Amino acid sequence: MQEDVCMTRVVPANFGPLKGANASARITGPCGDTMEFWLLVNDGRIFETTFTTDGCEHSIRCGSTAAGLANWKTLDEAEGMTQADVLAAVEGIPEESHHCALLAVNTLKAAIAGYRAKLKEQKDQKKSDCGSCTDESCSASKARPDEKPEEFEDRRLLKSRLCRIKHKIIVLSGKGGVGKSTVAVNLATALSRAGKRVGLLDADIHGPSTPTMLRTGDRKVKTDGQCILPMEVGGLKVMSVGFLLENRDDALIWRGPMKIGIIRQFLKDVEWGDLDYLIIDSPPGTGDEPLSLCQMIDDADGAVVVTTPQEVAAADVRKSVNFCRALHLPVLGIIENMSGFVCPKCGEITDIFNEGGGRRMAEEFRVPFLGRIPIDPAVVKASDEGNPFILHHAETATGKAFTDIIVKIESYQR
């Protein structure tokens, strides 16, 4: 490359190594130009791409364009990108430099192939019979001192079920009535809508809201002789104690051990299969059920804490943050629900309660603030009708708030 070209070229923003990249590849083209790509991949989707090249200005432009086109695509979509796609997206590349676009595409595909090979190697290292895996540090690899054989087998089965779920997120609140179940159902639906394999566990034994919010009617769960089969609702795998009731108005008058037992059964005996995400709608408060739930899922990604703007709600929700810290459960962030009212006529948001309680609490505890979700009459109507709000109102202010929260949560899983 001529020195004057090197000194005058405009370096794009995605030029250079990507910190935290989990895939990369370097290829030298027919003209001696070398190009290298770095990819940040999570759950089969490319979240960020950077590159570098020692080639000419056309090589830089083609590399930058290919990197930009790859962002937010699935691996399959990015792998299907062609030289023609790059040339169509960048202008002014003379025919004699079309090989720069081909070099960019081939380098990108080589990085993707390297990532796939790494995944296969990791998968091959694990046993398929889940005993539980080859990692000797796994809690299910051997019995604990004084643990009875049947207790060890029960724990091993629980771990083998959870090992097939990549991300486990618990939705918590320090009190009821803050819209925790609404948040859980719509977060799960939004993740499913984004192409993820998602399960939703309604662990609220005394107030199961999921059957109503997903309009499951009187459908009952089935078994295959060994496992409980989760309800399939709009692409979601769902389980709730509400599916086990003869009458949906029946009250469960259970003491703690029975409630903890059914929650454990929902985790251990339900055939969740391979999931990208399991969203758990936890019972409110910091008592037996949420405590046992968090202890059963000892590798949870973390908790999403839901509050409303008023100080009286935020004061109780603070206890949830301290609860998480006592259990060494990461707090993925705080959601301020019912934050302002969306006028059904003009769409203007009016703060009818105090505003900013969730954000102030997040700053106080130094945890992420995921966002504020306004009150929208359509949310109430959608929940009562059993249609997840995010499915039909994604472009509203409230729908966009849910979408933004999903993007933030996914970014933490990179």
> For the whole prediction, is pTM greater than 0.85?
no
Question: What was the pLDDT predicted at 379?
Answer: 83
pLDDT (tens digit per residue) in 26-59: 999 888 889 999 998 876 788 889 999 999 999 9
Q: Would you call 124 helix, strand, or coil by DSSP?
A: helix
pLDDT (tens digit per residue) in 235-257: 899 999 888 887 777 777 778 78
What is the DSSP code string of 305-367?
EEE-SSHHHHHHHHHHHHHHHHTT--EEEEEEEEEEEE-TTT--EE--S-S-HHHHHHHHHT-
pLDDT (tens digit per residue) in 319-329: 888 999 899 99
**Do the Cβ atoms of 83 and 105 come closer than 8 Å?**
yes
Cα dist from 348 to 113, 353, 379, whole Å: 48, 15, 16
CATH architecture of 3-124: Alpha-Beta Complex (3.90)
Is the pLDDT assigned to residue 128 strictly greater than 50?
no
At a CB cut-off of 8 Å and minimum separation 6, what does 204 contact?
Answer: 181, 281, 282, 283, 284
Confidence of residue 105 (pLDDT cuts 50, 70, 90): very high
Share of the chain above pLDDT 70, in %: 87
CATH topology of domain 149-412: Rossmann fold (3.40.50)
pLDDT (tens digit per residue) in 340-383: 776 766 766 777 666 677 788 888 888 888 988 888 778 878 87
**Every domain of the chain and the residues it spans:** 3-124, 149-412
Question: What was the pLDDT predicted at 124?
Answer: 61
Is the pLDDT assigned to residue 182 strictly greater than 70?
yes
Question: What was the pLDDT predicted at 53?
Answer: 93
Question: What was the pLDDT predicted at 352?
Answer: 67
Cα dist from 207 to 18, 203, 256, whole Å: 46, 9, 15
Is the pLDDT assigned to residue 2 strictly greater than 50?
no
The dihedral through the CA atoms of 238, 241, 245, 250 has a sign that is negative
